[in-house]
Amino acid sequence: MKKQPLTLLALLCVTFPAHANTLPTFTMPDVIIYASAENVDTIVNAQQVNIGAAKTVPELLRTTAGIQIQARPNSGGNEDLSVKLRGHDSRHYTVLLDGVPQAMSGVMGGGYVNWNALPLGMIERIEITKGAKSAAYGQIEGGVINIITKKSANAGELQLTAGNNDRRQYIFNYGVQTEALGFRVYANKSEQDAYLRNSDYDNEQAGINLNYKLSETDSLRINYDHQQLKRGLVIANIPGSANYNNKYPTTPIGDNFSNSNAVPGDGSYTKIYRNNFNMTWNSDRDNGSNTITYWKNYEKQREHNVVANQVIFDRYNVTDKSSGLMYKGSARVNEKHYLGYGADYKRLRYGYGWYNSNSNVESNGATKPAGGALYPSQKMDVWSVYLEDNWQMNERWLTNIGFRYDKMKGERDATQATNIGSMSESALSPKLNVFFKNDERTSTNFSVNRIWRAPSMAEFYWHYSGFDFAKSLPLTPEKGWGYEASIAHQFNDKLHSKATVFYQDISDYINFTHQRPFNAYNIDKAQLWGCELENTWKLDDASSIFLNYTNMHTKKEGVHANDNVGLHGELDYRPRHTLALGYQYDEGKWHARYDMTYTSSQKATLGYPATDPATYKVQEIGGYVVHNLSATYDFAKNSSANFSLYNIFDKEYCEIYGYPMEGRVFTATFTYKF
């Protein structure tokens, strides 16, 4: 569920000047979703999303206009298509954790976001910027999702959840804050038995956040996060087949390991070991601020492939050794002009891997001896600078003008990677956003922005190393223009509505899916357009209703005739209509949430995203409606119990073709705050 601002003026004309010292860049948070309240009673009314049964961030975003969720049972994988923002997959938008980039599925994951790595129990709110409006963040078309975590406080929380398929989830966090020094530690564990065959799930995570006040103006923050995530690969389970198991649902498609022809069997799994570190220095002045952040990732992934009780391969890939440095600054020039500026450097790298088992089958069928090395084929460096001016023209007009310059360089890393070429590209992207207060109840905005996105590490690599036609075709950055207009109106003290239309025209769109045969190449263009309607109605002091609707259209031109992965005329898995209707009740010790989500029919190619299809065949998924209900009772100010029922009417449906979703799901959660 969502927390809407009372007026667009409050969001656009008040938020930015008022938050100038803490939020100097023009981020335009269209939506703020509160995931969990701090341990103070005054924030309870802001708790719009009940996370008593949630396992990952996408589950908190399902009812948000402009966002589409496509998951598999047991938290699924971290495919590029898990969360779409205005029709764009995760290679086309940025996810931040307290302002730090979080493309945490390895640089060769194509920039996919490891949603399981985001510490759910630590989330305070989620700020979403839609489109490429902001100059502060580059190479984005869908927008920015900024996840804000809880700050240190003298408080703690313990949350225990149980549910279907022996689901168990434990969330703990505790913080201490003195005048100069503060810290918060957290530990999470979530596990569940397989619903789809072999898809057991086990996620463990722990971390610490430190903050130290160096002076009246300067502060230092240090964050460290560790995760171990083990997930069984889904095994195809087809009645009549030799290995069919009637304990699991019929599943026509199974998972594959990247760059391998050996089809996984029971006992196959991936396990991610991930460490993230970042350190931020912040200095506030009377007329602005300066912030410098250094971040570093280390991730390795174990791939264990078993067929007929025989280990085919057991290998470790060091999937991320990236690091980066960011600077953000702000300065108030006068009463009318407030500047934001910054620079960013990303050093994208991955490391050498190795094989453990005695039987190791490469993708070409050749056997590789134990201890054989996997090497990093390529590396990439990305630089950027930006400057923007928030110009308060008068009491009714606010204009944001920004410019961003991006440069990328990709080349061979290991000497063995003789097939990898080099690429060096750059571009200047102007941004213009205009906001107008029509009257006390109505406000409008318009934006036009230049779009530019360089190939990701995965797209760069597979362009040269794919198994099909694409290596002979050019690969250049995407470029285009985006447009957006919206109007918001406060009908009365209870009813607020906002309507938005958007359009993007992208030339040289990179057509790529992270599966065999790994074709990565430019097509002529892609177009995305649609509208969003957001409505909130406060019934009384205790209850409210929201209604959100998204209409989405996509079009592709220039797809290669021999490309069997992905639709030729439009983007896969983009339903035309999505709608969310919800009710919220908070009175005394009782809290209730109900939501209904509708997703219209959608198309994709058969075998996407799974195997290497031999032919081009379009598959259509029918529309579906899912109802969810949740209730919480507060025993005292510091303890509560939650009972949630998902898919109340046991609807049979799938969000990704071939992977049926669970039916009715029940969870119970106990929360204790101390």
Residue 446's pLDDT is: 95
pLDDT at 139 over 80: yes
**What value does the mean pLDDT take over residues 24-42?**
33
Residue found under tokens 């168990």: 168
Q: What is the pTM of this model?
A: 0.88
pLDDT at 292 over 60: yes
Indicate the SS3 state at residue 66. Answer: coil
Distance (Å, whole) CA 246 – CA 602: 29
Of the pLDDT bands very low, low, confident and very high (cuts 50, 70, 90), residue 437 is: very high
Residue 13's pLDDT is: 33
Phi/psi for 460 (5° steps) reads -60, -45
**What value does the mean pLDDT take over residues 597-616?**
79
Q: Which range has highest mean pLDDT (35-39, 80-84, 281-285)?
A: 281-285
pLDDT at 426 over 90: yes
Lowest-pLDDT range of 68-82, 259-273, 429-443, 445-459: 68-82
**What value does the mean pLDDT take over residues 312-328?**
92
Residue 126's pLDDT is: 82
Lowest-pLDDT range of 66-80, 126-140, 609-623: 66-80
Residue found under tokens 């490391």: 351
pLDDT tens-digit readout, 231-250: 999 999 999 998 899 999 99
Distance (Å, whole) CA 346 – CA 324: 4
Contact 451, 470 (CB under 8 A): no
- Antiparallel, parallel or unpaired: β 93-97 and 143-149: parallel
pLDDT tens-digit readout, 540-598: 999 999 999 999 999 999 999 999 888 999 999 999 999 999 999 989 999 999 999 99
Lowest-pLDDT range of 266-270, 511-515, 561-565, 651-655: 511-515
Q: In CATH, which of 3.30.2080.10, 3.40.630.30, 2.40.170.20, 1.20.120.640 is domain 8-522?
A: 2.40.170.20
Residue 16's pLDDT is: 32
Contacts of range 434-437, beta carbons closer than 8 Å, 24 or more positions apart? 434/397, 434/398, 434/399, 434/400, 435/8, 435/12, 435/13, 435/397, 435/398, 435/399, 435/400, 436/396, 436/397, 436/398, 437/9, 437/13, 437/395, 437/396, 437/397
Indicate the SS3 state at residue 254. Answer: coil
pLDDT at 120 over 80: no
**What value does the mean pLDDT take over residues 450-473?**
92
Residue 43's pLDDT is: 25
Distance (Å, whole) CA 59 – CA 644: 13
pLDDT tens-digit readout, 141-151: 999 888 888 77
pLDDT tens-digit readout, 37-68: 322 222 222 245 544 556 677 888 888 899 99
Specify the higher pLDDT residue, 659 or 19. 659
**What value does the mean pLDDT take over residues 223-229?**
94
* Single-letter code of the amino acid located at 606: L
Of the pLDDT bands very low, low, confident and very high (cuts 50, 70, 90), residue 533 is: very high
pLDDT at 25 over 60: no
Residue 596's pLDDT is: 96
Residue 439's pLDDT is: 92
pLDDT at 104 over 60: no
Residue 267's pLDDT is: 94
In 3D space, the residue among 209, 236, 13, 4 whose CA is nearest the CA of residue 121 turns out to be 209
Tokens of 304: 């264990």
Percent of the chain with pLDDT over 70: 85
pLDDT at 394 over 70: yes
Residue 28's pLDDT is: 37
pLDDT at 109 over 60: no
pLDDT at 22 over 60: no
**What value does the mean pLDDT take over residues 513-530?**
92
655 CB-contact burial (10 Å; exposed 0-12 / middle 13-18 / buried 19+): buried
Half-sphere exposure of 594 (CA within 13 A, CB side): 7
Percent of the chain with pLDDT over 90: 63
* Single-letter code of the amino acid located at 423: M
Residue 488, H or E segment: strand 478-490
Residue 176's pLDDT is: 95
Residue 607's pLDDT is: 65
Residues 6+ away with beta carbon under 8 Å from 213 = 179, 180, 181, 219
Specify the higher pLDDT residue, 72 or 29. 72
Mean pLDDT of the chain: 85
